[in-house]
Amino acid sequence: MPAFTTPGPITATVAVAGARVRLIASDRTDTVVLVEPVDRTSESDVRVADRTRVDFAGGRLSVRTTVSGAAGGSVAITIALPVGSGLVAYLARSDVRAEGSLGECELHLASGRVVLDRVDAVQATISSGEVVIGHVTGDAEVSSGSGAVDIGHVTGDADVSSGSGAVDIGRADGGVTARTGGGAIRIGRLTRGRANHPDRKST
């Protein structure tokens, strides 16, 4: 179980295929990474876990699979890190769940699902899958091909586009630009800014 001294926020880069990733952000002065096979009786799961690389230098954590796992997840990765840490994720057939407050997040999702509690800002590119964020305290910029986007509350500006998936923003305090080719757009409450729906199919 790799552990690193991190008295302040770090940047975690996760590049995985066929993984289940859990991040826990809290008031702590270290970063701990646990890598386990999802099924300890599966040779392929054990191989994916054994070949997962964990490195840390200069306030930057890198976790990556060097062997692709199964679509349901072959390796379970748990990262406990300081609150306010940033996240850069490159995901294929993987799910990510983050608990606590993160800093700026950059997501590249080929397929899978990402669920984040609270982030300072987010930039996301989604080919297929779903991104769910409880609260973005800054700006949100999300581009999706066929995935769904669900953001509970955006304090800053939001620029969200989707080719065929649904876009759902519960509350927006800044301006909102939302576009979709074949999906629905829902903005629950717009407090200060204004909404721009360039696509005629928006609702």
Domain boundary among 105, 131, 157: 131
- 14 with 70, same domain? yes
Average pLDDT over residues 117-129: 95
Q: Give domain status of residue 203, yes or no.
A: no
- Domain membership of residue 94 (yes or no) is yes
Tell me, yes or no, whether 92 and 168 share the same domain. Answer: no
5 with 57, same domain: the answer is yes
Residue 146's pLDDT is 87
* Residue that terminates a domain, selected from 100, 131, 162: 131
CA atoms within 13 Å, Cβ hemisphere of 43: 0
* Confidence at residue 12, expressed as pLDDT on a 0 to 100 scale: 98
Q: Say if residue 40 is in the same domain as residue 81.
A: yes
Whether residues 18 and 114 share a domain: the answer is yes
Shared-domain flag, residues 83 and 174 = no
Q: 78 and 27: one domain?
A: yes
CA distance 47 to 77: 14
Question: pLDDT, tens digit, for every residue of 2-38?
Answer: 899 999 999 999 999 999 999 999 999 999 999 999 9
Confidence of residue 200 (pLDDT cuts 50, 70, 90): very low
54 falls within a domain: yes
What's this model's pTM, rounded to 2 decimal places? 0.91
Dump pLDDT digits (tens) for 157-181: 999 888 888 889 999 999 888 888 8
pLDDT > 70? residue 196: no
By residue range, what is the domain housing residue 42? 1-118+126-131
Among candidate residues 104, 131, 158, the one where a domain is terminated: 131
Residues 14, 99 within the same domain: yes
Nearest 5°: the CA angle 74, 105, 84 is 100
pLDDT tens for each residue of 63-99: 999 988 887 789 999 999 999 999 999 999 999 999 9
Give the residue-averaged pLDDT of 107-129. Answer: 95
Please, what sign has the CA dihedral across residues 73, 67, 114, 11?
A: positive
Sequential DSSP letters for 18-81: SEEEEEEEES-SEEEEEEEESSTT-HHHHHHHHTEEEEEETTEEEEEESS---TT-SEEEEEEE
Residues 163 and 101 in one domain: no
Assigned domain for 25 exists: yes
pLDDT at 181: 82
